[in-house]
A and B are shown apart, each in its own frame.
Chain A
Amino acid sequence: MTAAVAPKVESPTQAALRVEDLSLSYVVRGIPRPVLRGVTFEVKAGESYGLVGESGCGKSTTAYAAVRYLPRNAVITGGRILVDGDDITKMNAEQVRRFRMLHASMVYQDPGAALNPTTKVGPQVVEAFTVLGQSKRVAEENALKALRRVQIADPERVAQRYPHQLSGGMQQRVVIAIALASDPKLLVLDEPTTGLDATVEASVLDLVRTLQAETNAAVLLIAHNLGVIRTLCDRVGVMYAGKIVEEGDAATVFENPQHPYTLGLLRSLPRRGIRKSQRPLSTIPGNLPQIGTPLPTCVFVDRCPLADELCRTVEPPIVEVGQGQWTRCHHRDRLGQLVEPPPVAGHEAILGDLNLTLSNVSKTFHQSGHDVPALVKVSLDLHDGETLGLVGESGSGKSTLAKTILGIESPDAGADIELDEHALAAKSAGRPTADKRSMQMVFQNPDSALNRGWTGRQILARSVSKLTGLRGKAVSERVDKLAADLRLTQRHLDLKPRQLSGGLKQRLAIARAFAGDPRIVVADEPTSALDVSVQAAILNLLSELQLRSKTSYLLISHDLGVVRYLADRIAVMYLGRIMEVGSSETIFTGPNHPYTEALLSAVPNVDGEDRHRILLSGEIPSPANPPTGCVFNTRCPRVIRGLCEVTEPPLVEVEPGHLMSCHIPVDELRRLQTKAQREDLVLTTPPESIEAAAAQGVDPLP
């Protein structure tokens, strides 16, 4: 990984950003509620510092405080924030404005919202330079340079576009170009890659690292994805309830955590290829303390398995571990007592009976006279009790496939979807109750999936009576059983969704999907809206339920760790086509389709394994105008000129149970991919020229 070669800068006398004992409260209805309780850390010039922790721990507040960009009701109750020696907490409005103009910049989570949709990209970048006092001419030159600097190959043309005409990755590059215009001493990145696909994320992270080395800026990175932090950061601080509980070199902290919370976070991740058949994931029981509740001693005490009387009475001091790592824990020496959960039996890969077969499923959307094929001749099957993972970049047709199977969208003529050997009606409304009962769905966002006007009990009871036909007491018995299976208490059932935490809401949504003992549950990104500790609990529950009920899952996820943990087989989709299908082991060990290979290599890894990274050229072409031949040929690093652009390779079984759609023979792929561990691949075409061509609907490689 290239992180290892990022140049380390000589430690200057002064830190670029120094936060000293910062305390901050939000005043809600006249009552101050403490959010930060004495945060201290520093970031040196040229260094990148990551803050991690569950949502609500105060990491974003810290980041926004570092540029003094806080909501009106935020009150700094103690401490200082020094940027390059200046205390920004004491500045007046004009000084803050100049400070932000000259010394600090921020990159936000959603680049689409950070750019003005009514103005072309060029003027927005130019503006970043004119505020610095440059003449329009100079600013325009600098803007083009800035765009080139963020590796936009054709800045003149990109400058003429409106933000919505650019892809998410390109938008984020533009935002970064604007952020770097003033050559800031401090760059704050708030979840910069969260909305982006893994392949795009990888290239944005590479870009940030390169630019940081160039500009020698101090980078403060907020990300919930620990892999991103590991990839980008030199040092990391773990936050919990408004305090940093552990700090150190990113590699050291992730390899050798010294605080029970850090250990819990890392262990709740599905990593190092762990699968459901091995053991459940570790979880951190309980929730973050509510904002504003008093925390006298160790902030983590209520959720810590090691907590004892000492932890409740004496605030743990900072314990130096060495190499700049420290932790706030009394019982560092007892961390070894925390063991991972014991393995569960019964997940042996026994392929059950076939329950769902799709053949020739296509779906074409009609948009203002254009045909946009979202699915092209997809054939798949699903067996009892297995999980089929669907992976691919956004726009690859994963969700459309799920919706088509469920009957939310109807497929084009000629498609055949069979459940237990009888054909299913195209639309859900036309299917008998038994079929509806057999297939249910768990949605990505439980806030949207649960009716906020209903209590949990009403939500479950309605699904039970509608799907099973039970009445009266039988319904409430079934509801109680579902709730018990999902570890929901009676009290939770009487609350409305907004009174429940994200994890509880998702458990309620899962309980609803299981109301009628379904044969198949479609789970569309079931954990992506959740914190990792909650994600672990949900994944455990899903695999436990599957073990008991032999339900099949169709799992859509962009998180390959999640897919690897839960899936028995994996289908890789690209532009509405299946590129590769195989058992989880086959997919993760290879040989792979070149697209799968790139997808796997792009994921930022918490374990920081030295792994070969394939940067995919450009972004996914428009499905309205797919490339000729193999649809992946425009981005494929292993493209065979004269063949791949002409003929589309069929999806054939290359090994038992392993299907692939590639012209390169599987043995050749195996040889190439072993070799690739040592040798860099050369990109066949510069990324942006393809992207630009694709955006214009022109085939770049005629």
Chain B
Amino acid sequence: MVESIAPSPLPAPVTTPTTSTISERAQARRELLRVLFRRPSFLIGVAVILVWVLCAILGERITPYDPFNAFFKGHTPPSIDHLFGTDRLGRDVLSRVMVGSRDVLIVAPLAALLGVAVGTFLGLVMGYYRGFVDDVLSRVVEAFLALPVILVALLTLVVLGSSSVVVVFVVGLLFAPIVARTVRSAVLSERQLDYVTAAKLRGESGLFILSREIFPNVLGPTVVELTVRFGYAIFTVATLSFLGVGLQPPSPDWGLSVSQEYANMVAGIWWPTLFPALAIASTVIAVNLIADSLQSVLNE
């Protein structure tokens, strides 16, 4: 008689590797970070932002001169003593550029965060409930999108008076519609998926489905949107300072410094304008590099 080997009617569970589950999930997160850190653009972005953050934190402790109260001869060109030269009041430009990131690095992230928070909420509601709610909110959002951000911010700040808090609110709320639109489209494709149907079939409330089922899955685009908005916020805050409605003197803010000195460019005094402008550019570019890397890694 032949020995018979009966195949089991059910597949054996997949062989269990020795690694525990927790480390497996940590591993997935580490893998994501590893991929991020292999991207030169991400590294450059992070490095630049780190430099500005360090400057902002350490401030006067590492600047060559007091950025506020050390007055030298006005408008001396870059030299060994003053690498970036001095401004019209004789303050050291390098020292002022180094501490100039302080305000923007507080105001811009807060504005971006506010914009993304409000925008994500709106986007979730619009995408999930659709119908009447979506129609009304979408029209409002479109109306806001049609307004030039700087112009509205300018008017609001003139009316309400300038302060960092107002800048955060104005810039943040003006960003919200843009974020809302992105999140809405992510939610629209998400709500088509069967897990939402399954949740409805077991009687989940709309609030639960939105916050616990859908929201975690649109977190990716939301994080990307946050970094992108951060970049735009830096730019917008600098622009408002330049226009004189943002931060007020004697703040060493980059945008403000540019606005106070650019008139002297015609006279050949380029350094007090160029260096703060470069600082703004480097920060915006660095943030965008990070945003791009995040986006492509999360989409992979």
Task: Known contacts A285-B11, A491-B16; decide if A450 and B204 are in contact (CB<8 Å).
Answer: no
Which B residues lie within 8 Å of A443 (CB)? 194, 197-198
Residues on A with beta carbons closer than 8 Å to the beta carbon of B160: none
A467 to B21, CA, bound (A): 28
Is the contact region of chain A dominated by helix, strand, or loop, or is it mixed?
loop
Could you tell me if A503 and B11 are in contact, using CB atoms closer than 8 angstroms?
yes
Does A491 contact B21, Cβ atoms closer than 8 Å? yes
- Is B5 within 8 A of A339, CB to CB? yes
Q: Are A336 and B201 in contact (CB under 8 A)?
A: no
Q: Which residues from chain B contact A495 at a C-beta distance below 8 Å? A: 21, 24
Contact across chains for B13 and A452 when beta carbons are under 8 A apart:
no
Q: Which residues in chain A, 471-510, are within 8 Å of chain B measured between CB atoms? A: 487-489, 491-492, 494-496, 499, 501, 503-504
Q: List 22 A-B contacts (CB under 8 A).
A: A281-B9, A283-B8, A283-B9, A283-B10, A338-B4, A339-B6, A339-B7, A341-B8, A341-B9, A408-B197, A408-B200, A429-B203, A440-B201, A449-B198, A453-B216, A453-B217, A453-B219, A489-B16, A491-B21, A495-B24, A537-B10, A540-B10
New contact pairs (8) apart from A283-B10, A466-B204, A537-B11, CB-CB < 8 Å = A282-B9, A285-B11, A339-B7, A341-B6, A408-B197, A487-B11, A487-B13, A495-B21
Report Cα–Cα, A499/B197, bound state, in Å.
22
Using C-beta atoms within 8 Å of the partner chain, give the interface range for chain B.
35 or more
Q: How far is the CB of A537 from chain B (nearest CB, A)?
A: 5
Taken together as a complex, chains A and B put the C-alpha atoms of A265 and B11 apart, in Å, by: 13
What residues of B have a CB within 8 angstroms of the CB of A504 in the complex? 14
A305-B7, A341-B6 in contact; A499/B24 too (CB < 8 A)?
yes
Which residues of B lie under 8 Å from residue A487 when comparing CB positions? 10-11, 13
CB neighbours of A489 from chain B (8 A): 13, 16
Cβ of A428 and Cβ of B203 under 8 Å apart? yes
Checking B6, B24, B201 against A428 with a beta-carbon cut-off of 8 angstroms, the contacting residue is B201
B1-30: contact bitstring with A at CB < 8 Å (1 yes, 0 no)?
011111111111111100001101100100
Residues of B within 8 A of A501 (CB): 14
Chain A residues, Cβ within 8 Å of B80: none
How long is the Cα–Cα vector from A451 to B213 in the complex, in angstroms? Answer: 7
Q: Which of B201-255 contact A (CB under 8 A)?
A: 201-204, 213, 216-217, 219
Instruction: Mark each residue of chain A from 296 to 321: 1 if its CB lies under 8 Å from any CB of chain B, else 0.
Output: 00000000011000000000000000
A511 within 8 A of B: no
Residues of chain A within 8 A (CB-CB) of B22 are: 494
A606 close to chain B: CB less than 8 A? no
Query: By CB atoms of chain B within 10 A, which of A342, A407, A428, A516 has the most?
Result: A428
The interface centre, meaning the residue of B8, B16, B28 with most chain A CB atoms within 10 A of its CB, is: B8
> Most chain-A CB neighbours within 10 Å: which of B16, B203, B216?
B203
A residues in contact with B9, CB < 8 Å: 280-283, 341, 540
> How far does the Cβ of A155 sit from chain B's closest Cβ, in whole Å?
37
User: What is the 8 Å Cβ interface bit string for chain A, positions 186-213, against chain B (1 contact, 0 not)?
Assistant: 0000000000000000000000000000
Q: How many Å from the CB of B213 to the closest CB on chain A? A: 6
Quote the shortest CB–CB distance from A483 to chain B (angstroms).
10
Complex CA gap A496/B25 in Å reads 9
List chain A residues, Cβ under 8 A from B4: 337-339
B195 interface residue per 8 A CB criterion: yes
Docked pose: A338 CA to B5 CA in angstroms: 5
Closest to A453 in B: B216
Q: How far is the CA of A225 from the CA of B280 in the complex (A)?
A: 60
The yes or no answer to B193 lying at the interface (CB within 8 A) is yes
Least CB separation from B192: chain A residue: A448
Q: Which of B14, B21, B201, B213 contacts A436 (CB 8 A)?
A: B201
Contact residues, B180-200 vs A (CB, 8 A): 193-195, 197-198, 200
Contact B217–A451 (Cβ < 8 Å)? yes
Top 7 nearest A-B pairs (CB, nearest first) are A453-B216, A494-B21, A280-B9, A449-B194, A443-B194, A451-B195, A448-B194
Shortest distance in angstroms between B91's beta carbon and chain A's nearest beta carbon? 50
Query: A264–B213 Cα gap in the complex (Å)?
Result: 39
Q: In the complex, what residues of B have CB within 8 A of residue A537's CB? A: 10-11
For the complex, what is the distance from the CA of A495 to the CA of B14, rounded to whole Å? 13
Chain A residues lying within 8 Å of B11, measured Cβ to Cβ, are 283-286, 487, 503, 533-534, 537
Decide: B7 and A341 in contact? CB cutoff 8 A. yes
- List B contacts of A285 (CB < 8 A): 7-8, 11-12
Q: Which residues of A contact B5 (CB under 8 A)?
A: 305-306, 337-339
Given A342-B6, A491-B21, A406 and B201 contact (CB-CB distance below 8 Å): yes
Q: How far apart are the CA atoms of A338 and B16 in the complex, in Å? A: 26
Determine the residue in chain B with the shortest Cβ distance to A541: B10
Please tell me if the beta carbons of A448 and B204 are within 8 angstroms of each other in the complex: no
Closest to B2 in A: A337
| Whole-angstrom distance between the Cβ of B199 and the nearest chain A Cβ | 8
The verdict on A165 contacting chain B, using a C-beta distance below 8 Å, is no
A359 interface residue per 8 A CB criterion: no
